[in-house]
């Protein structure tokens, strides 16, 4: 299990021991080998039977970490028709391919499908769940930032104010959960020195004048290579000055963060790397820098304060020399690190090229290397050959990686590598699929514990609702998604389809009973039943008690409490008619105890708890199982809510939406003798 799953299980055991003991005593904790596939009325559902181990056309085989996965694509490879520009991992675990003429998606089943009939030079998935791209400068036209709709057409509601951007070129962008766009590039002053330029634009594309960096004091003669948002809201710029890489940190107001380094700048010269390739953050907010020193791959790890992390590698630097042959006067080896990412367990993975030959420009051998490091900066011996996997795009090919976006994680156990393969004098684009975990592969049917179930999820377009929809879809459920914005629902439909399930959506104002009734009727008309109801729609509110108004009270209570009652009121009659079902109400730890400056929000969450307890006692003998899920802090836009800023929410270390989605799935898995009544989840850094 990956770290997020481990944290979820551990937190549930600590925070809800009675719940865990109940499951253990009844022997009912569901697993592929023990889950029951009965429908609510006790009859067997033929679509959710356990898979027959002997049903595969061929015998399954074990795919070792670092090997090509033959069940992905065609024997582990994809041939790409067109120019491949980059790979981008999506929130659902799928991967987008940006190409010159189309945008393609590879799903977790290893299948590729076209999602847009026009190309892109590259996409960035913003913290708001939307895609952004850079339209480079051309003759007489400045560079601009574009936002894309769910169908990848240009979103006209975002108009980047390029005339307020101080230069023609844009190097990198980063987007916050509330849609603010940070942009980095370079511009020249009268002195001729290149300066780093960083600006912030709001969710409509207008310049945010409250973010005011001091351009004259910016590091000179440097180029920004990457742009990241720290967990505390700070802005990190990976820079490159000749052979002197470094990290510049700005505050949310645009000031230099002097606590990070002199004038906010942390040079990496003394640590070794001379050529910066990529910067990213690990799950603890530490900074990872991928660089090269001649042919030596180097990874630097810094703390959140910019100090070298002495527990990593040697003095904060992990090094790897990939030279494999004896030094020769006639032959030469070279290595180029191209990309770096974190696998599902938080281990560092580097994708690199290796070439060998007499002529550096015409090498005889060109292959790829995938290297995995453990948390201390040592090679992970469980991967490949002592931590290094040798990969190519097919036997006898010369393989090269893309300069940018060359690697992306597919699901939780695969790696996709993108680049070119050369056979003779012909070069084409290709993708290789590499296994990251030891597992059994080959033709087999996944265990679909919720196959043929219909799940209605409110607030389904983002956050916990979106994550729960995807998690339920992966278990085989058909999703009925309810939310306010059509564009967000269109994206949900694509994400659910990528997870291998069907999805129908309805726009709905959950505070209006007529809208609720119409959405439920639409689901029944379409599918004839509702087996699972997840009441997730809600809004947060965080202000001093005396600052709230009657309008605020009505808005929060109607969205959080009234909507839960309304959907239950409309769905329960159908569940009674069909012989049972599952209801999951998303409340909060704020529904179990009061918190200052959250009075109305706590009232609404206490109301959900009371309603859930009442429904459970009234309907459990009718085979309607009502479960209450109460999370602590969750890293979503909801945590900001009404009355807090990103900084004020202090989301560092919060649980993820996917953590909570696991609890939702756990609550609705088929069980004959047990119902899940209450699940409490808290981040590991949050007191009970």
Instruction: List the CATH number of the domain containing 602.
Output: 3.40.50.720
**Same domain (yes/no): 151, 8:** no
What is the band of 647 on the pLDDT scale with cuts at 50, 70, 90? very low
Domain that holds residue 240: 129-175+177-313
Q: What's the confidence (pLDDT) of residue 22?
A: 34
Q: Is residue 263 part of a domain?
A: yes
For residues 71 and 441, the answer to whether their CB atoms sit within 8 Å is yes
Average pLDDT score over residue span 636-665: 68
Residue 688, judged by CB atoms within 10 A of its CB (0-12, 13-18, 19+), counts as exposed
Least confident of 21-25, 223-227, 534-538, 667-671: 21-25
601 as an active site residue: the answer is yes
> Domain boundary residue among 289, 313, 337?
313
Give the pLDDT band (50/70/90) at residue 444. very low
The answer to whether residues 182 and 303 belong to one domain is yes
Confidence band for 328, pLDDT divided at 50, 70 and 90: low
> Is pLDDT above 50 for 54?
no
Whether 669 and 525 share a structural domain: yes
Using pLDDT thresholds of 50, 70 and 90, give the confidence band for residue 233.
confident
Which one-letter DSSP state was computed for residue 410? Answer: E
| Predicted confidence (pLDDT) per residue in 59-99, tens digit | 446 788 999 999 899 999 999 988 899 999 986 689 999 98
Based on the fold, state whether residues 17 and 133 are members of the same structural domain: no
What is the arithmetic mean of pLDDT over 537-548? 88
Of 1-5, 391-395, 452-456, 541-545, give the lowest mean pLDDT range: 1-5
Taking the C-alpha atoms of residue 92 and residue 104, their distance in angstroms, rounded to an integer, is 15
Burial state string for 323-339 with b = 16 or more CB within 10 A and e = fewer than 16 = eeeeeeeeebbbbbbbb
Q: Is residue 30 part of a domain?
A: no
Residue 272 covered by a domain: yes
What mean pLDDT is predicted for residues 188-215? 82
What are the structure tokens assigned to 23, written together?
Answer: 């499951």
Q: Does 492 fall in a domain?
A: yes
pLDDT in tens, 343-357: 888 899 999 998 887
Residues 139 and 12 in one domain: no
Residue 459 and residue 589 in one domain: yes
State whether 166 and 303 are in the same domain: yes
Instruction: Determine which one of 429, 601, 620, 646 is catalytic.
Output: 601
Cβ contact 611:627 at 8 Å: no
Q: Can you give the pLDDT at residue 232?
A: 84
Q: Is residue 582 domain-shared with residue 456, that is, in the same domain?
A: yes
How do residues 173-192 score in pLDDT, each as one tens digit? 999 988 999 999 887 655 55
| pLDDT higher than threshold 80 for residue 679 | yes
Q: DSSP secondary-structure letter at 528? A: S
Cα separation, 611 vs 105, whole angstroms: 42
- Report yes or no: 416 and 410 within 8 Å, Cβ to Cβ: yes
**Can you give the three-state secondary structure of 568-628, one letter per residue?**
HHHHHHHHHHHCCEEEEEECCHHHCCCCCCCHHHHHHHHHHHHHHHHHHHHHHHHCEEEEE
Any domain includes 357: no
Judged by average pLDDT, the poorest of 297-311, 321-335, 421-435, 604-618 is 321-335
Whether residue 31 has pLDDT greater than 90: no
Number of domains the chain is built from = 2
610-626 confidence digits (pLDDT tens):
999 999 999 999 999 99
Final residue of a structural domain among 296, 313, 330: 313
Structural domain includes residue 545: yes
Structure confidence at residue 362 (pLDDT): 72
What's the CA gap between 80 and 86, in Å, rounded? Answer: 12
Residues 140 and 253 in one domain: yes
Inform me whether the pLDDT recorded for 24 exceeds 60.
no
141 pLDDT exceeds 90? no
Does 308 reside within a domain? yes
Q: Does residue 209 form part of some domain?
A: yes
Tell whether the model's pLDDT for residue 360 goes beyond 80: no
Last residue of a domain, one of 285, 313, 341: 313
Are 7 and 134 members of one domain?
no
User: Which CATH number covers residue 265?
Assistant: 2.120.10.30
Instruction: Yes or no: say if 268 and 253 are a contact pair by the CB < 8 Å rule.
Output: no
pLDDT tens for each residue of 477-498? 999 999 999 988 999 999 999 8
Percent of the chain at pLDDT > 70 equals 83
């Amino acid at each position: 299990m990956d770290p997020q799953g481990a944290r979820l299980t551990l937190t549930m055991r600590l925070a809800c021991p009675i719940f865990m003991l109940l499951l253990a005593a009844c022997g009912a904790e569901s697993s592929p080998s023990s889950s029951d596939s009965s429908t609510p009325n006790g009859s067997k559902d033929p679509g959710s039977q356990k898979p027959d181990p002997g049903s595969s056309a061929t015998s399954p085989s074990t795919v070792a970490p670092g090997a090509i996965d033959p069940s992905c694509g065609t024997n582990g490879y994809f041939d790409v028709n067109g120019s491949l520009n980059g790979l981008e991992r999506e929130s659902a675990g799928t991967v987008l391919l940006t190409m010159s003429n189309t945008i393609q998606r590879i799903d977790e089943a290893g299948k590729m499908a076209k999602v847009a009939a026009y190309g892109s030079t590259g996409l960035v998935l913003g913290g708001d769940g939307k895609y952004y791209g850079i339209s480079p400068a051309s003759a007489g036209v400045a560079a601009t930032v574009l936002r894309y709709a769910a169908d990848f057409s240009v979103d006209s509601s975002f108009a980047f104010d390029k005339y307020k951007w101080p230069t023609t070129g844009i190097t990198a962008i980063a987007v916050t959960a509330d849609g603010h766009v940070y942009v980095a590039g370079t511009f020249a002053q009268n002195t001729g020195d290149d300066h780093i330029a960083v600006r912030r634009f709001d969710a409509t594309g207008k310049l945010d004048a409250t973010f005011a960096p001091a351009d004259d004091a910016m590091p000179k003669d440097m180029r920004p290579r990457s742009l990241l948002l720290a967990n505390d809201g700070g802005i990190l710029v990976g820079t490159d000055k000749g052979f002197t890489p470094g990290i510049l940190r700005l505050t949310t107001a645009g000031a230099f963060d002097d606590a990070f380094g002199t004038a906010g700048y942390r040079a990496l010269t003394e640590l070794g790397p001379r050529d910066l390739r990529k910067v990213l953050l690990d799950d603890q907010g530490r900074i990872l820098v991928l660089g090269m020193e001649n042919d030596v791959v180097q990874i630097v790890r810094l703390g959140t304060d910019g100090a070298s992390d002495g527990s990593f590698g040697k003095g904060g630097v992990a090094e790897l020399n990939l030279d494999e042959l004896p030094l020769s006067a006639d032959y030469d080896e070279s290595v180029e690190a191209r990309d770096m990412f974190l696998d599902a367990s938080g281990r560092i993975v580097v994708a690199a090229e290796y070439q060998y030959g007499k002529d550096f420009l015409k090498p005889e051998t060109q292959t790829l290397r995938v290297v995995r490091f453990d948390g201390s900066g040592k090679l992970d011996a469980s991967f490949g050959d002592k931590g290094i996997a040798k990969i190519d795009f097919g036997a006898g090919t010369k393989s090269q990686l893309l300069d940018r976006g060359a690697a992306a994680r597919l699901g939780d156990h695969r790696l996709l590598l993108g680049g070119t393969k050369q056979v003779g004098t012909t070069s084409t684009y290709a993708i290789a699929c590499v296994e990251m975990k030891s597992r059994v592969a080959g033709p087999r049917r996944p265990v679909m514990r919720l196959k043929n179930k219909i799940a209605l999820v409110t607030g389904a377009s983002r956050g916990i609702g979106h994550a729960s929809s995807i998690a339920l879809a992966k278990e085989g459920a058909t999703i009925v998604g309810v939310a306010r914005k059509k564009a967000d629902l269109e994206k949900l439909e694509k994400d659910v389809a990528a997870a291998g399930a069907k999805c129908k959506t309805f726009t709905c104002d959950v505070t209006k009973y007529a809208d609720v009734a119409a959405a439920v009727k639409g689901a029944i008309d379409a599918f004839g039943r509702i087996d699972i109801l997840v009441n997730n729609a809600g809004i947060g509110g965080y202000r001093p008690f005396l600052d709230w108004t009657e309008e605020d009270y009505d808005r929060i209570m109607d969205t959080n409490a009234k909507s839960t009652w309304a959907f239950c009121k409309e769905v329960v009659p159908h569940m009674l008619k069909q012989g049972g079902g599952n209801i999951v109400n998303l409340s909060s730890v704020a529904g179990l105890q009061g918190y200052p400056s959250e009075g109305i929000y706590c009232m609404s969450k206490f109301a959900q708890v009371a309603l859930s307890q009442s429904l459970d006692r009234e309907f459990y003998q009718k085979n309607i199982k009502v479960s209450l899920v109460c999370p602590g802090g969750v890293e979503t836009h909801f945590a900001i809510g009404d009355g807090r800023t990103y900084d004020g929410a202090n989301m560092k270390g919060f649980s993820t939406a996917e953590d909570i989605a696991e609890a939702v799935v756990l609550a609705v898995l088929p069980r004959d003798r047990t119902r899940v009544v209450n699940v409490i989840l808290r981040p590991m850094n949050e007191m009970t």
